[in-house]
A and B are shown apart, each in its own frame.
Chain A
Amino acid sequence: MSRPGPRIVPFGDAALLVELGGGIDIGANRRAHATAAAIRSDAAGPWGRPVPAYDSVLVPYDPLEVDVAAAADRLAGVLAGAGTPVEEEEHEEGSFIEIPVRYGGADGPDLEEVAALHGSTPALVIAIHSGAVYRVFHLGFAPGFSYLASVPAEIVTPRRATPRTRVPAGSVGIAGLQTGVYPVVMPGGWNLIGRTEAVLWDAGRDPPALLRPGAHVRFVPVGG
């Protein structure tokens, strides 16, 4: 069965959005990253830095160089020539990026609530969260913030009704199928279950972000 092609729509007057569809889906996400790579390779194009997300790519362009129709035409050509998505290498045991986490207490103020919501215990939530391997789907929202999925169904928890105005850097949160680490102090609505000393973002480091799309991550419980 053939898959419907990507949809290219304008996003304001200086960007196009490539919609692949599929939501949180590895296949869709691989296509998003392959699309972004093809755009970055079109060095003569009017493009800014493309922004791949779960199932889409935002493509900034310079409207002083091309109008929206010409930009969409060129982008369609780039997409048609894009290679098949690169399959990630098989990740063998031990090749994961391990992120040590202190779960619960002041480091994870929502752990008990999450456990209660699922009729579970904090220990079981920790075991489930740290027992899974997560894939980095994309970065965004804040410098180095990485969207990891998928959280096992037993602990899938919606965002908090009222976001916190200040989440400490290193906080490990969950939201729906997603989990991630707040790289810097920022507002946030995810349920916080732990905290890590790992430095997710350092502008002076090369590369500045600890995680990259396609990488696999495990959270490792450590004592307080």
Chain B
Amino acid sequence: MFEVVDPGALSTVQDGGRPGHLDLGVPVSGACDTWSLAVANLLLDNPPDAPALEITLAGPVLAVRQTGVIAIAGADLGGEVPEEGRRLAPGSSHRVNAGTHLRFDGARSGLRAYLALPGGIAVASVLDSASTCLLGGFGGIDGRALRAGDQLLAVRGPTAGEAGRRWPAGGPDPLDGAPVRLIPSADPAGLAPGALAAIVDASWIVSTESDRVGVRLSGPAITAAPEAADLVSRGVVPGTMQLPPGGPIILLADGPTVGGYPVAGVVARADLPRVAQARPGAELRFVTVSVAEAQAAWRYQAALLREIARRLEVSGPWDTHV
């Protein structure tokens, strides 16, 4: 359906993840922002965790080889069809015409956009998932990020979707400025007294060294307790806030399965999409919540996704012109 002309900064095929092999050291992988992955897929009546293209910051240029329907969700990376002077707003499905190009010329808001094709992107499943594991070099397209010349094929026929659908407002909003909900660690081994309070009191800046492994934060020094050096590795999950000597890191989808650094807490699942959309230079603040509060937020978000998907209506062509 597409041929890659320019791969962009980092574009990978990702689905709902690969959680079945954590005990072999295989990261969960999958979309960093699973909410937006689901939105892009549901706009095309795909399963919410179908393989899509995760596009980071500065997007690719894709040549449209077959006329078809796509959906875009997540960050606004300036998607457009230059030949037609047509902007492709996120949170909606669009028709694309053979002979034109799909271009993402840079982030306007957010960090990661998701491009869905009808039925999903056709790639082989490795260890039960289509996701690209960059560290292990498997999954997705040959275990790597997109390159010029790669072909992106739809699982269903390219036109098996409805253009002009628009996702209504609702769900995690990376621009709302609300503090990120953090569940404090129940076993703060290695944390100096007052470390959690210092994390919550501070304002944090997302570092340029952030990637799919984790979001690195710049801010005040958080000192570890002396016993931090003696911690042995234990399992961790995406959302875990670790405190290595260089400053806090919030693990994302490609984060390690175990870690030996002190753990300050774990970001509420419902807020992980917002963390994944925070661009380098963005400010993050934290607020502590209980497990029960975080689970209530997650249940609400899951119910919202189902509800919107259920009443998703065809709203007609609405593409705005540049």
Identify the A interface with B (CB < 8 A).
9-15, 17, 19, 23-24, 36, 48-58, 60, 63-64, 67-68, 138-145, 147, 183-184, 186, 201, 203-204, 207-209
Contacts and interface: CB of A to CB of B under 8 A. Distances in A.
A140 B136 contact: no
Interface residues of B, number: 47
Interface string B102-137: 000000000000000000000000110000010111
Contact of A9 (B137, B187, B239): B187
A184 B235 contact: no
Nearest to A64: B302
B292 interface: yes
Given A12-B237, A142-B135, A49 B294 contact: no
A51 B257 contact: yes
B232 A14 contact: no
B25 A141 contact: yes
A63 B298 contact: yes
Interface in B22-39: 22-27
Nearest to B181: A13
Nearest to B299: A64
A160 to B, nearest CB: 12
Contacts of B257: 51, 140-141
A122 B128 CA distance: 44
Given A140-B235, A141-B233, A67 B26 contact: no
Contacts, number: 156
A150 to B, nearest CB: 12
Contacts of A53: 232-235, 258
B19 A60 contact: yes
B266 interface: yes
Contacts of B143: 203
Contacts of A207: 24
Given A63-B299, A203-B126, A9 B186 contact: yes
Contacts of A13: 183, 266, 268-269, 291, 294-295, 298
Contacts of A19: 187
